[in-house]
Amino acid sequence: MSRPALPDDTELRDRVRGLDLDSKIRLLTGAGLWKLPAEPRLGLSAVTMSDGPQGVRGTGDDPAETGLLAPAPSALAAAWDADLAERLGELFAVEARRKGVDVVLAPVVNLQRTPVAGRHFEYFSEDPLLTGTLAAAVVRGLQSRGVGACLKHFVANDSETDRTQYRARLDERTLREVYLAPFEQVLAEAEPWSVMAAYSGLDDGIEWAPMTENARLLREVLKGEFAFAGPVVSDWAATRSTVASAAGGLDLVMPGPDGPWGDALAAAVRAGEVDEQVIDDKVVRLLRLARHVGRLDEPEPAPVSSEPAPEEFRLLREVAARGTVLLRNETDLLPLSPDGIGSVALIGPNAVGPYLQGGGSAFVPAVRTVSYEEGLRAALPEDVRLTVHRGGDARLRLPYASAALLADPDSGAAGVRADHLDAEGNRIGGEVRDTGDWTTYEDFAPETRRVLLRTVLTLTEPGTHRLEFGCAGRFGVSVDGEEILAGDDDRGVELVLESSHNHPPQWGIDVEVGPEGRRLALALDLTVVEAGGYGRFVTAQVRHAPPGPTPYEEIAEAAAAAQAADVAIVVVGTNEEVESEGWDRTGLELPGHQNDLVRKVIAANPRTIVVVNAGAPVLLPWADEAPVLLWAWLPGQEAGHALADVLLGRTEPSGRLPWTLPARAQDVPVPDARPRDGIVDYTEGVHVGHRAWDRDGLAPAFPFGHGLGWTRWTYESVTLSPTPVSAASLTSPAGGDGLDLTVALANTGPRAGREVVQVYLEPPRDGTDRPVRLLAGFATVQAAPGARVTAEVCVPARVFRIWDSEASQWRTPPGRYRLHVGRSSRDPHLTAEVTVDDGRLYPAV
């Protein structure tokens, strides 16, 4: 990797010098939640940003706006294919222009340090090299179409618990070799046009500071060593200081228009606390970004078709299908042949309600969704009978109260009445809506201080009903005039940052209903939350569950359906309560009674296919019992079509695990993400993910890189390029060049297939604490049955080096290194040896 040259921006700097100080500083805080300020005197139009790891969310200006919902980043990573990732980046760019977006806040290059991390699904991998390679491809795709990428979250912001407060403590070597590594790689290979500074702070033994103020990492490393030329953007509401953040290397405070800069920063410059040249540099960086995305001296970008094209849907379908990992296929049941199949039982809570995307800022209102039932029904012959059975509910939270049960107490019409009240309690507006879901309700006038929700809930079915309420901020909940729940949280933006506004704690009561039925008057008195750049809102949820069958009754019904069917397909997994931005998981178990469901179905029908619909690892205690086991990720809008393509053999599930799947919770190297006394201590050092499993000699359920596909492969030979790698490459900041491996292999199975050739580096055992093996390169190849193919794999020089903390530089220890070529981190087939001597790297003889 070569370092990008910093641009010559003399003309831009001349423009900036013509602005007065206050005008320059005005450009350094957002004009709103998503837009940056315009400045006609500079030829600068407003730049628009949007969330985007799983699609382009948009700005929310149109509440009815939808968009393309892609598979989660971990699903894309499972394809291990940079070309596919680049194509998806190009699609994101088209979608961004469709929504008037110039910069997409993606990709996320934090690592899956622990499997319980709330945003695990939003990260690519537990491995730095795989993460960096795929993220660079997404950036190239985005920016090739003139839409900027914003690389995030710089750096070591790898979990959600107290994410705005905690300090990540890790040594300098771990920081350099593991957590900075994917950022460094993407910056060198793809030159992203912006970078986002994380919420959290960092303590690497040299300096402690919040990332928005970390001068050593932002100014010296990111902008200095890594030669990053664009703006460093704060995560939303992450900036808490004026002078420290401005001097520390932050360039743009988001969101706006308020924040800690503005007049306070102007005063600091005039007082000599911040040099005005620092301000000028920030504005120039923003102008570079604007120039890249066509917002500097440019007309409005050409309009893009408002409707997605068929090929866009096909690409999302391809990513979801190719990323699917075939973990087991013991009976050769897959791919299914429709001949001889008269009936299929589709079973499981995620079969009924697929989990398509993770919660939080990545959420995209999809233009369409294809359920597993819809996908299978469209793919199977018409004469095949398809039945669907939930097999028990996996959600801890109840469904929202049905509109059919709710009535406006004033008019008697269906729905919930909202009265908007001013500071004195006077009604100044209102509306009636037909739902118990009032999450982030903000449709009220600026003078509104409280929102009073009132409805009459009519229950007719005899038995025990369950009611649950969830509110955020300051509130009171009354049932038949008696207050049963109250809250006094007067925080503002903090509620948004910890997701309390859309995932409030639930509190419930049981309601006994006799044959005559029962009517309950519900009132929820909500104080408006003042959340700065996130606006003003209230949150309330009314949930209800009627009497119904127990989970075990549903499981028995599902098992009976499986026994009667020719094939049973069980879809289990997580849901929006489990995987989301804003909180981390407390364990790895499947929610609800899904393990019991799987075992009962397998016992009922030996032709059972188990599909896991989850973005992050879950424990599968029955994995060895499943005849067929597929991991289908959070697959996005084309879920049903993609699964049908895999099951019926139209697309090979050529995915490989981008992380390690544990067999037991006690084996997980980093089992939780909780800060201790405000510190998240990275005690595992450089042994992240599969490296820790190798260090500890533990057997996972399935190792990093594992996946089967439809066919069999024979690895025949490996040869190394004869040219030695220079000493300069081994010590350069970017890692320099590398070794080229040529791997010959043959498809010895019955079907055409795609293979991911993986190369792992085994360093010499010289006393230095290094991974037993680390991913050093990979390539994807295709071949017809019986055909031979060669894979060209580049092993970059940087994988041989380690960071010398005492000398503050890279070095490559001498000795003999082994390169293992195979199908996963635990399945080597070929070995080559390399020698490092005299500062150079040679193929061993």
- Residues belonging to the active site: 235
Contact (Cβ atoms closer than 8 angstroms) between residue 644 and residue 378: yes
User: CA–CA separation, 148 vs 245, rounded Å?
Assistant: 23
User: CA–CA separation, 467 vs 510, rounded Å?
Assistant: 6
User: CA–CA separation, 246 vs 259, rounded Å?
Assistant: 12
User: CA–CA separation, 102 vs 96, rounded Å?
Assistant: 7
Contact (Cβ atoms closer than 8 angstroms) between residue 39 and residue 86: no
Question: Could you tell me where the DSSP H helices lie in 667-759?
Answer: 690-696, 727-731
Produce one character per residue of 216-236: b if its CB has 16 or more CB atoms within 10 Å, e if not.
bbbbebbbeebbbbbbbbbbb
The residue behind tokens 């006994």 is 512
The residue behind tokens 């909202």 is 418
- Positions of E strands within 9-73: 49-51
Return contacts of 668-674, CB within 8 angstroms, 24+ apart: 668/114, 668/115, 668/588, 669/693, 669/696, 670/113, 670/114, 671/114, 671/116, 672/114, 672/116, 672/584, 672/586, 673/114, 673/116, 673/117, 673/118, 673/158, 673/159, 673/160, 673/161, 673/584, 674/161, 674/584
Which one, of 183, 245, 260, lies nearest residue 214 by Cα? 245
User: CA–CA separation, 514 vs 464, rounded Å?
Assistant: 9
3-state secondary structure 184-238: HHHHHHHCCCEEEECCCEEECCCCEEEHHHCHHHHHHHHHHHCCCCCCEEECCCC
Q: Which two tokens stand for residue 365?
A: 């209102």
- CB 260: neighbour CB atoms within 10 A? 18
Paired residues of 212 in beta bridges: none
Cis peptide bond upstream of 303, omega within 30: no
Residues contacting 116, CB < 8 A, separation 6+? 159, 584, 585, 586, 587, 588, 616, 671, 672, 673
